[in-house]
Structure 1
């Protein structure tokens, strides 16, 4: 169903829109990525990470194995338990250093894992918390697993890097062999009767070409090796998915509570300053009319007539307030009719397209309604658009909303505007808000909500 609503005039309200920073253009390069890679800072940082991994992993592995073996061997006595806990604590310390190393060289920002939970006001309480912490055991597992991987990655990276650059620059340093060694060049083969050296111009060119190929391939090998380190750091040294999800839910719960409290304060303020004040004035007017009913019937009739007008205004304010809490048309007829009602009140023409074969959960339906309502308010106030569209459809188990306008653009959800608050509300129910608004327009805001029908 597609319907056009709204006036034909543009909204020319104030210029304080939700403008954001202009998009950052990617840097232009004259060389392709394959030729740039050997000289890029990323390649050298990742190579340095792999070279440092071997000595670091040797220390971590040796310490972890020593402490675990010592603690396990002394479990027959009381000392084995605190020794094992101390080993786990030191592994957590190594993990902190590894996260810092990954942050500096791999540009991998890993959040700090949750501390050991439990009472830590005594030695035994601290030992118990450390032994029961899954984070501690994951750090121990990292110390054990990273050693064999570093033993493999270190020689591979060094071999490819050293061989590639040595072969590529071989024509520049071949003079070392006849001058100081007394041979023509690098010896490929030799026995009692035959010796093969790389000394002819053709052999020098082939060697340099092979070296160039290795130089160009080495950065990608280094990146592949470093990607495994990234996975190890992310999977074992960062917070677990469950802990991250719990943290997200706690944050979302705080957003929901704050939003609900703000809505309650708004409703209380609207009732106190609007309908309640009118009803108090109405009661006073009716009291005065009652006193004048016998002495001055005409004045009493005028006061009753004015009170009747106040009743109508108070009823309209109560209807508007109820519509702001949850519109009746949304409950009775669904999103199609409710969004069409919003579009009809917008100051620019709005086309609404709703393609749903069923209705989502009531809570999701309400969030979708108020999301579109706020986005269309932004279109009216800030966009300077001449038309807008609203599209609603279902994709698998997600409810998709998209509001597009042909206004001036520049909207940014990260600049602390109303879009940021809207994004937080959607995030509280596992929703997503994506804003595409280049300077000059058009603006497209896409919201994704769980269906939960």
Structure 2
């Protein structure tokens, strides 16, 4: 865990407390990240020239040949090549910028064949975005290369000036670098003070280079992510497909749970009850007292079965939630918790029934976790509306240490909320307290 934290935040595991001994401004010029980003910027110029030349040449050729049957396949081949070159650019960004960009949406072909492939390439938005990247990246690469090369070379040249200024008086016949000169006089950096100031200016420029290069690569990151990655629509489709799978799996799991509870609980109890009543019926004439006792026991079994059926119905969807809303439903579930729970619901109107149900079951499961695992002596539930979001927060003073990454019930809750564009955030340091915040989209009860 500590290693992941240090790697994610750039901390030095060897330093006390996981911190670098040098501040970021001093170590940035020699860090690996700076050199990788500088290498990316310097490589961008020749690569962008090749991309631009390829794209413009083949697309122009294809456009010019559109009057013949050759134009369409040439244009499709040009776009396909841009897609392939885009894959190389994503790999370069991944290796030098640590930028993870997903693959764009694949070609959608309803049938096989050359013509189907050509049509799919021409209709693919990813193909045209790759072409746009090839065209737009070259002017930016020229600018970024020029700025990075100039400031980097100037910074290190001036910083190391005390080491090589002797070249001027020895071989050039002058005291040092000439700053100014005309017919009357010249200014050279040749005395110890000027040499020291030159080195200090070089140090400042060298320290600024990493941040300049980082700003330049930020534009590259945006271009690679926006033009060579999946479109927002495609990403959203993938998310919806994943969420649909989660919803289907959750519904199936709930049905299996209900079936198991009915089979092992109320159904088994009712079968035993029927058998007991049959025996009591046979004993009624021979031994009325025994029959009466058996009927009395069967009466108790009926009450237990009814209670189990009520609990099962409450687990499916409590009537109090439908009739009186979240405030009464959460107060009811809190009263059954083994830990004293304070409930505060501040809602001027009710959300949609689906959102209301998810909110109820989220709080219900969190309170069950508190009862079973937290060791808490007190808990609180708060529900409120923030803009177009329904907010839930459950807090307990237990032992803490809850971690959704360990595959606990919190992970399942997070998946359920994610299926409706919700978010679950857990803050549970060892020793407590534990604070779980859930955020759901607000949908009005009138929207059905």
TM-score using structure 1 length: 0.91
Distance 1:24 1:236 in 2: 31
What is the Cα deviation at residue 195 of structure 1? 3.3
Q: What does residue range 345-384 of structure 1 map to in structure 2 within 5 Å?
A: 345-384=336-375
| 1:214-254: CA deviation from partner (whole Å, max 9, x where unpaired) | 11222111111010001001110111111111111111110
Where in structure 2 are the equivalents of 1:141-180 lying within 5 Å?
A: 141-180=132-171
1:266 aligns with 2:257: yes
The SS at the match of 1:188 is strand
User: What does residue 387 of structure 1 align with?
Assistant: 378
Partner of 1:219: 210
Instruction: Assess, with a 3 A threshold, how the Cα gap between structure 1 residues 23 and 329 changes in structure 2: closer, same or farther.
Output: farther
Match of 1:325 in 2: 316
Give the counterpart of 2:292 among 289, 293, 301: 301
Residue equivalent to 2:113 = 122
Out of 40, 53, 75, which is 2:44 matched to? Answer: 53
| Alpha-carbon distance in structure 2 between the residues aligned to 1:158 and 1:295 | 108
* 1:22–1:116 distance in 2 versus 1, CA, 3 Å: closer
Equivalent pair of 1:400/1:448 in contact (CA under 8 Å): yes
Q: 1:132 & 1:22 partners in 2: Cα distance?
A: 46
1-structure distance, mates of 2:24, 2:108 = 47
Query: Which residue in 1 is equivalent to 2:33?
Result: 42
* Paired residues of 1:22 and 1:439 also in contact (CA < 8 A): no
Is the counterpart of residue 257 in structure 1 residue 231 in structure 2?
A: no
State the alpha-carbon separation in 1 of the partners of residues 5 and 159 from structure 2: 37
- Distance across 1 between alignment mates of 2:2 and 2:34: 31
Is residue 23–residue 438 contact of structure 1 (8 Å, CA) maintained in 2?
no
- The structural deviation recorded for 1:68 is 0.2
The 3 A distance-change label for structure 1 pair 368 and 429 is same
Judged with a 3 Å threshold, the aligned counterparts in structure 2 of structure 1 residues 22 and 152 are, in CA distance, closer, same or farther, namely closer
Pick from 48, 68, 72: which aligns with 1:81? 72
Query: Hey, what's the Cα distance between the residues in 2 that align with 1:77 and 1:321?
Result: 72
Contact 1:431 1:449 (C-alpha < 8 Å) held by counterparts: yes
Tell me the residue number matched to 1:3.
none
The Cα RMSD (Å) is 1.8
Question: Structure with the greater relative contact order (CA < 8 A, sep ≥ 6): 1 or 2?
Answer: 1
Distance 1:291 1:440, change over 3 A: closer
Q: CA deviation at 1:204?
A: 1.3
- SS of 2:393's equivalent in the other structure is strand
Distance 2:415 2:233 in 1: 21
How many residues matched?
434
Structure 1: 5+ residue stretches without partners: 1-19
State yes or no: 1:283 paired with 2:274.
Answer: yes
Aligned-partner Cα distance in 1 for 2:146–2:54: 23
Following superposition, the deviation at residue 295 of structure 1 comes to: 4.6
Distance in structure 2 (CA, Å) of the matches to 1:191 and 1:275:
105
* CA distance in structure 1 between the aligned counterparts of 2:92 and 2:387, rounded to whole angstroms: 41
Query: Are positions 1:316 and 2:307 aligned together?
Result: yes
C-alpha displacement of 1:296? 4.3
Question: C-alpha displacement at 1:411, in angstroms?
Answer: 1.2
Question: In structure 1, which of residues 405, 410, 432 is the aligned counterpart of residue 423 of structure 2?
Answer: 432
| TM-score, with length taken from structure 2 | 0.92
Identify the residue that residue 94 of structure 1 maps to in structure 2.
85
Summarize deviations over 1:33-58 as a string: whole Å, max 9, x none: 32232222222211111011111111
Q: Give per-residue Cα distances to partners, 1:98-147, cap 9 Å, x unaligned.
A: 11111111111111111111136211111111111001110110011001
Alignment of 1:24 with 2:5, yes or no, is yes
